Amino acid sequence: MRIAVFDTKPYDRQALEAANEKAGHDLVYFEPRLNRETLDLAHDIDAVCPFVNDRLDAAVIEALAAKGVKLITLRCAGYNGVDLAACDRHGIVVTRVPAYSPHAVAEHAFALIMTVVRRIHKAYVRVREMDFSLDGLVGFNLFGKTMGVVGTGRIGQAAIRIARGFGMKVLAFDVYPDPALASELGFDYVPMDELLARCDVVSLHLPLTATTRHLINERTLSIVKPGAVLINTSRGALIDTQALINALKDGRLAGVGLDVYEMEEGVFFENLSENGLQDDQLARLLTFPNALVTSHQGFLTREALANIAETTLGNASLFERGEPLPNRIHA
């Protein structure tokens, strides 16, 4: 198949080219994201391969269908940027990578936790400036603390295992609780409000849907345990950014670690060092010394990139051969 791959960086191409040695597709790479302004870049294609922040609304889907595109093979787990109903109307199949490396994301969540809790980012900057003082760097032990895991899918489960390894008690929330899993991994399911009120660390591992958008908001932040740390490596819009800023201003949170941000499109994955940041809310977040933001890099390991590429192209190969598609998404 001839596949137009959008929103590509060097690490994407390297992984895709390695996977394509076996798959044998004709890959055409484009650096811009796929949206209304860029969809005319690709010609004579059978499929498109977008990433997490590409925007495939109804107008884009209609234009792709007019080009003869029959497959959208996402190289990510999230699909909230794709109008699935429009795809159904135009007969376009959508596939994704549902679980590229749960360990990569869960481990990054704990990298954020440890950095925020032990003030590693502040200590690094100080030492680079020959300041070896310790004032303001007091953290707390994770051992014996309670961690709240919101969402017990594969990434949430990996995070629970890590937390248990640290000697933490784990409480979890999921709309589909699994008692057998809780017994196996040694955690308890509780209502969301109870989790927020009792946990020292809260880590989000949920997809973005109409019901999870702004799950963390003014009300839920008001019941968070004082001095808790909030971590988000899932989807930015799970958190109401202005409410988070207010909670940081009021001192309700000891810290926050974000690998995602609700308005990250056009910012994350880009080098803005020459142009400056135009997003006032993100700029305000970055002023808090107890807020740590990374640029959606939770997936960025060699193992995860290889898995993403292999699954993405594997989905295309299955479609081309007319075989069942276990990773297909339906409206």
Asked if residue 83 lies in contact with residue 56, where contact means CB atoms within 8 angstroms, the answer is yes
Place of tokens 């704990």: 110
Catalytic site residue 161? no
CA 324 to chain centre: 27
Asked if residue 7 lies in contact with residue 33, where contact means CB atoms within 8 angstroms, the answer is yes
Catalytic site residue 33? no
In b/e form, how buried is each residue of 228-258, taking b as 16+ CB within 10 angstroms? bbbbbbbbbbbbbbebbbebbeeebbbbbbb
Round to whole Å and give the CA distance between 67 and 3. Answer: 12
Which of 232, 204, 107, 105 shows the shortest CA–CA distance to 148?
Answer: 204
Round to whole Å and give the CA distance between 128 and 108. Answer: 24
Q: Which of 33, 75, 252, 264 is catalytic?
A: 264
Q: How many helices (H) and strands (E) does the chain have?
A: 12, 13
Round to whole Å and give the CA distance between 189 and 177. Answer: 7
Q: Which of 154, 235, 262, 310 is catalytic?
A: 235
Asked if residue 2 lies in contact with residue 26, where contact means CB atoms within 8 angstroms, the answer is yes
Both structure tokens of 105: 């994301």
Q: Are strands 291-293 and 253-258 parallel, antiparallel or unpaired?
A: parallel
Q: Which of 25, 108, 119, 296 is catalytic?
A: 296
Catalytic site residue 235? yes
DSSP 255: E
The number of beta carbons lying within 10 Å of the beta carbon of residue 213 is 15
Asked if residue 159 lies in contact with residue 149, where contact means CB atoms within 8 angstroms, the answer is yes
Active-site positions? 235, 264, 296
